[in-house]
Chains A and B, each alone.
Chain A
Amino acid sequence: MKMEEMSLSGLDNSKLEAMAHEIYTDLIDDACLGLCFEVHRAVKCGYFLLDETDPESMKDFEIVDQPGVDIFGQVYNQWKNKECVCPNCNRSIAASRFAPHLEKCLGMGRNSSRIANRRIASRNNMNKSESDQEDNDDINDNDWSYGSEKKAKKRKSDKVFLHSLKQPGFVNPNSPRRSKSIKHKNGELSSGSSDPYKYTYNSGINYETLGPEELRSLLMTQCGVISEHTKKMCTRSLRCPQHTDEQRRTVRVFLLGPSASLPEPETSVENDSYDPSENQALMSRLQWDGSSDISPSDSASSKASTNNSESKKTKKKKPHLGLNSGSGSSQQGLGGSSSKKKKPKLLAPPTPSIYNNIN
């Protein structure tokens, strides 16, 4: 074997070439043979000559090369300008718009159910009582999932609609709740602000289009900080983490004048539910809450009891609270103590309500 290998490498190039050529010829012969077999079989099975046509029919299918006509001889724009009569509504529609029109007209097809649901939901929302408006506000809060769970049980069009809710289609100036003017403004605002059916995540409220009364009521419930990029107001809640209280104050001063009342202060004029004395008591409780973690043994029991009594008070006043609304309402009731002091978190009121929800 070794002798052969040595002699192989010692071969001239010409011999190698000859060998290569021979291998090549073999391959070509194989290919020709393959073709012959194929043709012969086709002849014997009778399908070899099937693709032949007589010259007369060849002329029928000849390629057309005239201007204004495609290669089959058909006119391109023939049906473009025609109008069809819709069998449903008996209107004459342009041919190219006919199919989408039918889809909406007959109420079948992918989008029509979605649109219909949205319309129903929006009408419901406009007509519903103001107790729902509070829930809307809660949905605007950051704890998105809880709010959506509640909503999903109530309505059919849950997630789609909630998306539009979260964005400013439905701004609710909440604090003076029982006034008719608010309802009127609500209608105005929802029509004035961005279209609820287009839920783009960047939409906000353009403060230039709103009057001062509307602005004030808006700013009572919303963060309202004007974004530099879009020049629109932030629609998140008053506690939104993206903006600081300073920013909110600046915006309010800017929009409402230097004498504008800020929603955060403890002695908020428009809070009808809580006394200022109670505010301070609650604030002191909250400070204790911060320290209760540190010294659990001694003062925990006493503080816990007082906390519980406090939370019971809050519970009585707003019986239908979930987790979010607990923090939301307590925020309003406590006169924004949470917003001023961010570190002592609202442990007392929310925690019992968490357990309420679970139970």
Chain B
Amino acid sequence: MSKEAQMRATINQKLIEMGERERLKELLRAKLIECGWKDQLKAHCKDVIREKGLEHVTVEDLVAEITPKGRALVPDSVKKELLQRIKTFLAQHATL
């Protein structure tokens, strides 16, 4: 099990070192904006803020409310594409 954890750590390290993680992040951000996910979530933010009051809203509140909804709202195509890219990367670099 620790080996698996170690493996994960190695992979993550490789992702970051090779700049692949940044690229994936940018790709994801672009796709989410494109598909309207960001606007949807912003609207949800507005509701939360109205609920909690403009003055008293905190980052933690927002995070707690937004993250699960955000995860759910990601469209399938985006999810699939991202997973595909990650798997490709793993396949290439897991044997190294």
Which residues of A line the B interface, CB within 8 A?
4-5, 7-9, 11, 15-17, 19-25, 27-37, 39-40, 43, 48-49
Contacts and interface: CB of A to CB of B under 8 A. Distances in A.
Contacts, number: 95
B6 A35 contact: no
Given A5-B95, A32-B66, A33-B63, A20 B3 contact: no
17 contacts: A7-B7, A11-B7, A23-B11, A24-B86, A27-B82, A28-B70, A31-B25, A31-B28, A31-B32, A32-B41, A32-B63, A33-B67, A34-B29, A35-B66, A36-B66, A39-B49, A40-B57
B53 to A, nearest CB: 10
A5 B83 CA distance: 22
Nearest to A38: B42
Given A28-B28, A31-B32, A35-B42, 20 more contacts: A4-B6, A4-B7, A4-B10, A11-B7, A11-B94, A20-B87, A23-B12, A27-B28, A27-B82, A28-B71, A29-B67, A32-B70, A33-B63, A34-B29, A35-B41, A35-B70, A36-B67, A39-B45, A40-B62, A49-B54
Q: What does DSSP make chain A's interface, helix, strand, loop or mixed? A: helix
A24 B95 contact: no
A349 B66 CA distance: 96
Contacts of A33: 63, 67
A136 to B, nearest CB: 66
Given A25-B71, A28-B74, A8 B86 contact: no
Contacts of A20: 83, 86-87, 90
Interface string B25-59: 10011001000001001100110010000100111
B95 to A, nearest CB: 5
Contacts of A24: 79, 82-83, 86
B18 interface: no
Contacts of A34: 29
A226 B83 CA distance: 74
Contacts of A17: 87
A19 B90 contact: yes
A7 B66 contact: no
B15 A43 contact: no
Given A16-B94, A24-B83, A43-B54, A31 B29 contact: yes
B3 to A, nearest CB: 6
A7 B87 CA distance: 17
**Pairs A-B, 5 closest by C-beta atoms:** A32-B70, A20-B86, A36-B62, A39-B45, A32-B67
Nearest to A41: B59
A43 B49 contact: yes
A40 to B, nearest CB: 5
Given A19-B11, A20-B86, A36 B59 contact: yes
B62 A39 contact: yes
Nearest to B45: A39
A124 to B, nearest CB: 65
Contacts of B12: 23
B8 A22 contact: yes
Contacts of B62: 36, 39-40
Nearest to A30: B25
Contacts of A22: 8
